[in-house]
Structure 1
């Protein structure tokens, strides 16, 4: 059945491509956060173990929301690790580490990369692709990442 939601198929496809990159970033950040949750050690273990688990839960919800937004626009969702690694702006963790400060710094950088990507797409989605719904959606995601980044940043002071 043909979709008629007031956004051209070409624009929906362009938005879905950008959202697929976002989903890849979200999934890689989720994985980084679970790594921190599972591997953190030190005097602050319990606190950070709980913090990383809480943020991983928030990221899991974000992953699902982004995937559902792509489907809402009538497109398939990339759902393999290979696809995510090809689409992401983030890098996988490369050095073994176990202290919370190192994990927090790495997660903070990843959140900030996603925030910049989201901020760069808000007006693009609304103005060029005529998709105010996705523009509003990514604005909310950006605010969520800003809050998680603020919480991480506060731990580094």
Structure 2
């Protein structure tokens, strides 16, 4: 059944496109975090293993929310790895067991997502007149800022 939620079809399509790009970023960040969880080494292995697990668990919830938001506005999610690699703003990082490099890479990725979310908040509300999606990404912004803060705490 055709949606009638007060947002024109073109705007909903544009929001869905942006959300699919965001989903690709979330998936790549999730995989990057999982990679470091699996490959971390060092005297504080257990601490870092659990830290990365907490981060990727949060990202898993975020990915599901983004995909559901896309479906809620009447569109389909891009859900193939090849699609994610084409859509993402993020860059896959080389393998590393260096904890500080892992953390630096994750922080850079988190901050890239934060910058994009800030852009989407305004784009969704002002250009596409979709306050719901703007509010949705605003909530994601806070979650990503907290994850970035937790990573940043390792750098003094």
C-alpha distance in 2 between matches for 1:121 and 1:80:
23
Structure 2: any 5+ residue segments left out of the alignment? none
C-alpha distance in 2 between matches for 1:67 and 1:5:
19
C-alpha distance in 2 between matches for 1:33 and 1:135:
26
Measured after TM superposition, the shift of residue 99 of structure 1 is 2.2
Measured after TM superposition, the shift of residue 156 of structure 1 is 1.6
Q: TM-score, normalised by structure 1?
A: 0.98
Measured after TM superposition, the shift of residue 58 of structure 1 is 0.2
Structure 1: any 5+ residue segments left out of the alignment? none
- Structure 1 moving runs of 4+ over 6 Å: none
Partner of 1:53: 53
Query: 1:84-140: per-residue Cα shift (whole Å, max 9, x none)?
Result: 00000001112x311211111000000000000000111110111010000000001
Aligned counterparts, 1:103-122, within 5 A: 103-122=102-121
Aligned counterparts, 1:32-111, within 5 A: 32-94=32-94, 96-111=95-110
Whether contact under 8 Å (1:44, 1:100) holds in the other structure is no
C-alpha distance in 1 between matches for 2:96 and 2:115:
26
Residues paired across the two proteins, number = 156
Cα RMSD, aligned residues only:
0.6
Query: 1:58-99: per-residue Cα shift (whole Å, max 9, x none)?
Result: 0000000000000001001000000000000001112x3112
C-alpha distance in 1 between matches for 2:127 and 2:91:
29
